[in-house]
Amino acid sequence: MFKFLFLVACALVAVNAVSEQLKNEFIEKMTNIGGQCAKEVGANEEDIAELLAHKAPSRHEGECMIFCFHKHLGLMNEDGTFSKEGGLKALEPVKADDPKLYEKLVSIGKMCQEEVAKDDDKCKYATQLTVCGVKKGKEMGLDASMIH
């Protein structure tokens, strides 16, 4: 259901390159996490609609939705720091399904971690990482329209 994100949202950026089963499992997981995160951060329908439309969040609650996704997926720690170990673990299903795509996603994660300045606001930082991941994914030829 949710169409945006990255570091694994990079996985979103490229999920159309993997098997239909992996895509469906990912969509189901994101949908479940989305419901939890909306409640957790106080996001409203407008915040969710922006994310579904691939738009950058206009409210802090929308940015916090992105952080919440990253946290639930293991991409970021509760304190807002990037989790290399968690990111690699989150990408394991992609590695088994498409090793070349996995390598691209790991590369994107590394580049964004290096390029995006750490922000004390973990929600803004997560959003900046996501924007970077989508941009780098497009530059590598990954399709951003992946999940419908």
Model's pTM, two decimal places? 0.81
- What is the distance between the alpha carbons of residues 3 and 101, in angstroms, rounded to a whole number? 18
- Residue 18 is predicted with a pLDDT of 62
pLDDT 10s digits, 79-101: 999 888 888 888 888 888 888 88
Give the contacts of 8 (CB within 8 A, at least 6 positions apart): 70, 73, 75, 87, 90, 91, 105
69 contacts 5 by C-beta, under 8 angstroms: yes
Sequence length of the chain is 148
Looking at domain 9-139, its CATH class is: mainly alpha
Q: What's the distance, Cα to Cα, between the start and end of the chain in Å? A: 7
In the structure, what pLDDT confidence band is assigned to residue 120 with cuts at 50, 70 and 90? very high
When mean pLDDT is compared across 13-22, 120-129, 137-146, the lowest value belongs to: 13-22
pLDDT score recorded for residue 84: 83
Give the per-residue pLDDT at 43. Answer: 92
